[in-house]
Amino acid sequence: MLRWRTATALILAPVVLGAIALGGWAVLALVLIVVALAAHELSQALRPLPFPAALGAGVLPVLLSIPYDTEGILVGTLLGLPWALFWLAGKPEARTLRAVLALLLMAVWIGAPLSLLGLTAELENGVIFVLIAVVGPWVSDAGAYFAGRSFGRHPLFPSLSPKKTVEGGIGGLVLTVAVVGAVAHWVIGLTPLESVLAGAAISVFSQSGDLFESVLKRILDLKDLGNTLPGHGGILDRIDSLLFTAPAVYYILLLV
């Protein structure tokens, strides 16, 4: 398991970081690939959900964000539902509450947040902020893991994620504030207070995204949403935090 996990990380990390470094269309292309993989996972996990229905619901916000920015994201999210219903109309076996939930998730939970990541890459200092949105959750996870292993005593949300502890959550927060705050201050030029608040927001939203997926899997009574990435589970297991940090980073960028 560790061998596959390491191999997958060594392959994916350069691809992701390279796309971020190129910015613009490279980030957008990566976003579209991730949306397609997420649609595949949900269509498999919630069969008989048609893949084209899930794909359209997730891709429309991304595509319409290109010419129309945030207004396009809103319109794409709204259009995702009639698009999906068109596909469900001819498949009675797919017209279930789970399928409708999955389609809403594709539009609101996956398509819209990742669209904002693409828009972030187009703004001033956008590449650095995209890097913060993607790498920030990695930093938070690392801080939470080591702090939890060393000092974890009090469960954070035992009914959702028994291994997460209050001490781990604090460790993730502290490390993210230190790393992201330093980048935000010295590279982007935010004030010390803005840098600390940005780092804290990234950690809080990152951990919230992870917990959201845990809640979702329990609602759907699923152990995993997919197994696309060897050693890592599904693509949604890798981007659950990003789906919360991407909108946070976009609006932090607009505020500062």
The string of pLDDT tens digits covering residues 88-144 is: 887 787 778 888 888 889 999 999 999 999 999 988 888 899 999 999 999 999 999
Maximum average pLDDT range among 86-100, 140-154, 167-181:
167-181
Rg (alpha carbons) of the chain, rounded to whole number: 18
pLDDT of 231 above 60: no
For the segment 56-70, the average pLDDT, to the nearest whole number, is: 95
pLDDT of 45 above 50: yes
pLDDT of 229 above 60: no
Which pLDDT score, from 0 to 100, does residue 253 have?
A: 85
Compute the distance between CA of residue 124 and CA of residue 34 in angstroms, rounded to an integer. 24
Which residue type, as a one-letter code, is found at position 151?
A: F
Long-range contacts from 52-56, C-beta under 8 angstroms, 24+ separation: 52/87, 53/83, 53/84, 53/86, 53/87, 53/88, 53/94, 53/99, 53/103, 54/84, 54/102, 54/103, 54/106, 55/106, 56/80, 56/83, 56/84, 56/87
**pLDDT, mean over the chain:** 87
> Could you give the angle at which helices 166-183 and 126-151 cross, rounded to 10 degrees?
150
Compute the distance between CA of residue 256 and CA of residue 120 in angstroms, rounded to an integer. 13
Which pLDDT score, from 0 to 100, does residue 17 have?
A: 82
Which pLDDT score, from 0 to 100, does residue 8 have?
A: 59
For the segment 192-212, the average pLDDT, to the nearest whole number, is: 94
Band (228; pLDDT cuts 50, 70, 90): low
How far out from the chain centre does Cα 127 lie?
Answer: 17
Residue that the structure tokens 């920030």 belong to: 136
Compute the distance between CA of residue 210 and CA of residue 128 in angstroms, rounded to an integer. 23
- At 150, which helix (H) or strand (E)? helix 126-151
Band (226; pLDDT cuts 50, 70, 90): low
- List Cα–Cα distances, 10 to 13, 103, 149, 214, 246, in angstroms: 6, 32, 24, 26, 23
pLDDT of 249 above 90: yes
Which pLDDT score, from 0 to 100, does residue 22 have?
A: 85
Which pLDDT score, from 0 to 100, does residue 169 have?
A: 94
pLDDT of 256 above 80: no
pLDDT of 7 above 60: no
pLDDT of 2 above 50: no
Token pair for 33: 């690939």
Residue that the structure tokens 């972030």 belong to: 120
pLDDT of 194 above 80: yes
